[in-house]
Amino acid sequence: MNSPSILFSLLLLFFFSVVIAGKQRHSSDLLRPMIGLGKEKMSHLHFYFHDIVSGRNPTAVQVAGAAMTKNSPTFFGAVVMIDDPLTEAPEPTSKLLGRAQGLYASASQETLGYLMALNFAFVDGKYNGSSLSVLGRNAVLSDVREMPVIGGSGAFRFARGYAQAHTHWFDPKTGDAIVEYNVYVMHY
């Protein structure tokens, strides 16, 4: 064989190798059924988060703060643990869908800005026993705040997406609040 025909044969072999490799499934596609994952889907969840800091049975309790926290206009340094109910409607007596469990901390000296690290743990319906994890900044004074969903469990394995929070009601005397959440999440 002469040089041009060898070169042509090698190029043809390379071309077919690339085409065949491009048609093969990704290794994660092959593993999904083995670990119980079906097709990826997107879900929209809508619920209300009840943050109760007053009364005899608060669901949000400050567990830490710096000496300067009580004098800070933004409560900078305050760390609050939460176990807040998640309900179907804004009324506290509406159907319980789950609980927001975790913490938020005042992380801004200039404005009200919280670091949110929490799980939405669902106790009802098709997501019963599943959870979503949120970690991000909550600019409290903004009308709508967006925080990333970084994972999940159960029906939300390998979840990713975002949560939008909107203050539905706030009592400045007690600090109690009801926050509407719209969560958009990709999961298996």
Q: Which band of pLDDT confidence, cut at 50, 70 and 90, is reported for residue 73? A: very high
Query: According to the 3-state scheme, what is the secondary structure of the chain?
Result: CCHHHHHHHHHHHHHHHHHHHHHCCCHHHHHCHHHCCCCCEEEEEEEEEEECCCCCCCCEEEEECCCCHHHCCCCCCCEEEEEEEEECCCCCCCCEEEEEEEEEEECCCCCCEEEEEEEEEECCHHHCCCEEEEEEEEECCCCEEEEEEEEEEHHHCCCEEEEEEEEEEECCCCCCEEEEEEEEEEEC
In this predicted structure, the answer to whether residue 91 has a pLDDT above a threshold of 80 is yes
Q: Which of 89, 181, 86, 163 is nearest to 128 (CA)?
A: 86
**159-173 per-position pLDDT tens digit:** 999 999 999 999 999
